[in-house]
Amino acid sequence: MGDIPKVDLSIHHRPQGFSDRIAFGFTKALRFCADTFFAKRYGHRAIVLETVAAVPGMVGATINHLKCLRRMCDDRNWIRTLMEEAENERMHLMTFIKVAQPTVFERLVILGVQWVFYLAFFALYLVSAKTAHRVVGYFEEEAVISYTMYLKELDEGRSPNVAAPDIAKHYWKLRQEATLRDVVLVVRADEAHHRDVNHGFADELSGAADPDAVIAPYPDHADDIRMAA
Ligand SMILES: [Fe+2]
Ligand SMILES: [Fe+2]
């Protein structure tokens, strides 16, 4: 089993300028909706929100791919990074679906939200890719907070710390006896990495890239995810 990277929970990008404030306000509004809807049902919350979290990477990859084709320019590895992010978020979903089952109502919410969020995020990315990446950076900050709360729930015995699903043990190369707690730790580390990457992309697009910016280490993932299905 590889080491689970430590996560710096204090990281927060202070909104600077109009676009950051819009991104931050939008994220906080969605956080309020999620908190109201799910309360402490963290397994269900993870499933529904991971279906949303897997969208931006694919949108960003598509739009950057098309831009590079039109301009015949290099993508600075953004496309693969974003596609990998989408795949990683989908693996979060495939993992949590082994832990909890969404209700029929939640499945309907997922359908509706996917239509609205995909189209809205696509439009936002076309209008301002910088704001779109900032939104994802803030989403990921919230994801780190939510998974930290999930850990507390497990540690204090309010949710059972069941065995890690096989798919998770394969994908994150966890030890055989790994538990849900180990899974939440590696998922949170993934989210922290996405947080820093997306804030970094937003900084780069605003011409204010910080050469000393630290990116949270990414946990080790299996190359062949078919084995995990
Ligand atoms: Fe995720
Ligand atoms: Fe994420």
Instruction: Write the DSSP string, 100-132.
Output: ----HHHHHHHHHHHHHHHHHHHHHHHH-HHHH
Q: Is residue 180 part of a domain?
A: yes
Which CATH number fits the domain that encloses residue 75? Answer: 1.20.1260.140
| pLDDT at residue 194 is higher than 60 | yes
pLDDT tens digits for range 72-90: 999 999 999 999 999 999 9
Q: Is residue 1 part of a domain?
A: no
User: Has 156 been labeled as part of a binding site?
Assistant: no
* Nearest ligand, measured from the Cα of 142: 2
Q: Which one-letter DSSP state was computed for residue 103?
A: -
User: Ligand 1 centre and the CA of 171: distance in Å?
Assistant: 14
pLDDT tens digits for range 134-163: 999 999 999 999 999 999 999 999 999 999
Q: Is residue 13 part of a domain?
A: no
Q: Is residue 58 part of a domain?
A: yes
User: Has 13 been labeled as part of a binding site?
Assistant: no
Range of the domain at 82: 23-228
Q: Is residue 102 part of a domain?
A: yes
- pLDDT of res. 2: 60
Assign 207 a pLDDT band (cuts: 50, 70, 90): very high
Q: Is residue 5 part of a domain?
A: no
pTM, entire model: 0.95
Number of structural domains (the chain) is 1
Distances (CA, A) of 23 to 12, 19, 183, 188: 13, 6, 29, 21
CA pair distance 44, 33, nearest whole angstrom: 14
The per-residue pLDDT of the chain, averaged, comes to 94
User: Ligand 2 centre and the CA of 89: distance in Å?
Assistant: 6
User: Has 142 been labeled as part of a binding site?
Assistant: no
User: Has 12 been labeled as part of a binding site?
Assistant: no
pLDDT tens digits for range 35-63: 998 888 988 999 999 999 999 999 999 99
